[in-house]
Structure 1
């Protein structure tokens, strides 16, 4: 089994106990969550089908287009998985999510009861929380020494190359700094009045006519360019420190780094955002209000990034967990074209085992902690797609970005 963005279903979510009895997912035969796109599926296959509809590059099958998409193998071949979705009747036109008629619900419950009555010769661990799965436990025990070594290596690289490494504020000092800036920002609004952020078109027209950087937008982009260039260099160094990453071809390394840049950046910066005050801190220590950031990025996107940061902060991730997540998000195989998907999947699965091992060792009382962490990473993917679109327009709008070959290249997908 390999982790992709669909892996939130590895462990039942806290809400899953409230879900009525359903037959297994028609695609992968694992635990279903409802009727999605017209077919009874799990959340993972629902998300996979949704992303597939928006995918421009067709999937490829490395075999004979007859891959097994059964329990534990749903990520083995994206081409055959998508084909099975279509064969089972999944359709964009049937975009219902769990709205069951009484007749449909009755049939589903009867089917589940029949399945539960069957005597399996071999126990299956797909419906068992990973922490209780004998097969998963044996894998982790066998790799204990390697796990500790990998965690130590990844944490060391994360600490060394973190974009905010120079900032040493404690949580209390960080809040005071953000609060002080918020009061200053609010006072400025009271004195000069609240001014709506100029649209890109309005700003461009005014700048071209007068040459005046009315709201310091261009200056902000210049500063952003410098920070991002430095961050990219650190990011690449971190990626190359991931065990076995440098054994990949240079093309595969480049593809993974470019496609995961937003999620890596988010995991470096989410702790520095205050969603209540709407104030964030850049790696240089400069504070910005959401409305100021919206001069460059879309306000809806910025607002959602801050909201997502609070969800991650609520997890209270340790340095080890955050470091491993940074490495894991770099090794997703389903959002770029790779020459050797299997090799990347093997690298990622070791990282997943390390995260799972660490979570179970340090938080044995939190049975669903691993599931919640994976669920947050899955939810982050929607913001990633949003960022792709915004970054593409951003690099075309600002000469400062076009003047940075490294930044321009990494924003190009």
Structure 2
């Protein structure tokens, strides 16, 4: 049974409306709650060889009664909302997901009728939003202080020095956290420099978080959200925001990473404080993302979209957040078309990479939870500790 708005009212199937068209959802398909029509459309789109074309300006409204108006914009929204072929593997309808859906349906049923969101798709407004985001990113989001050639030069020199030192003194096996703690407590000696490395990491992270929060506040309408939603969105997007600023500082071949200050570290050094398998995955995915050759303005828009992801945390006003994100997606699409109108697959490739990044995010959350307990430097920094508490 459904009410007049099409929201399910039975206890057997409690789902929010389809994320794509707004009509009644039938289940969790390709990683997103959708109706049967949008599920079938996305499946056919994945098998389609020809690219869709928009008869308008690539910003058609996809809503109840209008889902068939433009296949191009409908497919674009499917990708923006998180649908992907890979999501089939992890798209099981868990108890946690069901609970979130029930809470959202209750909010929708209890909310008073309100007028439709204002139309943000006007071309002048899109250009204004793009300008705001790119300008803010230049101020708060510039994580790389050196050009690509300088970074490669520093990494190559450091790698050669590291290998030379290793050939002279031999490679020392990484000792466990338990062994390090035991030795440190009995001698007070930072045996392999990991405490110093962690302190440098925490200091760098604190500065990055301040710039991250300032950037988020410049996203139009972000500060109009409840403080709870602002906090939740920032915490949930922290790792992916950092990664989008750091992946170009990773050298997957040499396994050397460069910090924002230009200092370089080999993966063996980083594994003193981070899980080795996680680091291998970070370098591997960095190589994958580097192939897109994203420019700074594109990264700024992508980071804004990441911050406004509605499906990673419980929100007071998920619809408002989703509306903001959809407009940002339109901004990115418009910006990409302005730069190269012939490359229609670039947006899809970007969102495909972002969906793949989710697995690293979940991994990072588990590691950070342990590190907060094990490393005193986190507890000594209230801002850092709070932002890492999800």
Normalising by structure 2, we get a TM-score of 0.75
Q: In angstroms, what is the RMSD of aligned CA positions?
A: 3.2
| Alignment-derived partner of residue 37 in structure 1 | none
Instruction: Summarize deviations over 1:284-337 as a string: whole Å, max 9, x none.
Output: 211111111111110100111111111111001122211111001111111111
- Answer yes or no: is 1:372 the counterpart of 2:345: no
Corresponding residue number in structure 2 for 1:271: 248
Listed as ranges, the matches of 1:14-413 within 5 Å are 16=47, 43=85, 46=88, 49-50=91-92, 52=94, 58-63=100-105, 143-162=122-141, 164=143, 167=145, 169-413=146-390
Instruction: Sort the Cα spacing of 1:56 and 1:288 in 2 relative to 1 into closer, same or farther, 3 A.
Output: farther
Take 1:13 and 1:282, find their aligned partners in 2: how far apart are those partners?
44
1:400 CA drift (Å): 1.1
Alignment CA distance shift 1:412-1:63 (3 Å): closer
Q: What residue is the counterpart of 1:88 in the other structure?
A: none
Tell me how far apart the structure 1 counterparts of residues 328 and 269 of structure 2 sit (CA, whole Å).
37
Structure 1 unmatched ranges of 5 or more: 19-27, 31-40, 68-138
Using a 3 Å threshold, how does the CA distance of structure 1 residues 50 and 181 change in structure 2: closer, same or farther?
A: farther
Quick one: distance in 1 between partners of 2:324 and 2:198? 36
Q: For each residue in 1:77-123, what CA deviation from the matched residue of structure 2 results, as whole angstroms up to 9, or x when unmatched?
A: xxxxxxxxxxxxxxxxxxxxxxxxxxxxxxxxxxxxxxxxxxxxxxx
| Compared CA separation, residues 381 and 408, structure 1 to 2 (3 A) | same
Q: CA deviation at 1:62?
A: 4.0
Question: SS at 2:311's partner residue?
Answer: coil
Q: Structure 2: which 5+ runs fail to align?
A: 1-18, 22-29, 34-38, 50-66, 72-82, 110-118
Deviation at 1:365, TM superposition (A): 2.2
Q: Deviations over 1:62-86 (max 9, x none)?
A: 447999xxxxxxxxxxxxxxxxxxx
Give distance in 1, aligned partners of 2:238 and 2:268: 24
1:54 CA displacement: 6.6
Greater RCO, 1 or 2 (C-alpha within 8 Å, sep 6+):
1
Following TM superposition, by how much is the alpha carbon of 1:44 offset from its aligned partner in structure 2, in angstroms? Answer: 7.2
Q: Partners in 2 of 1:349 and 1:57 — Cα distance?
A: 24
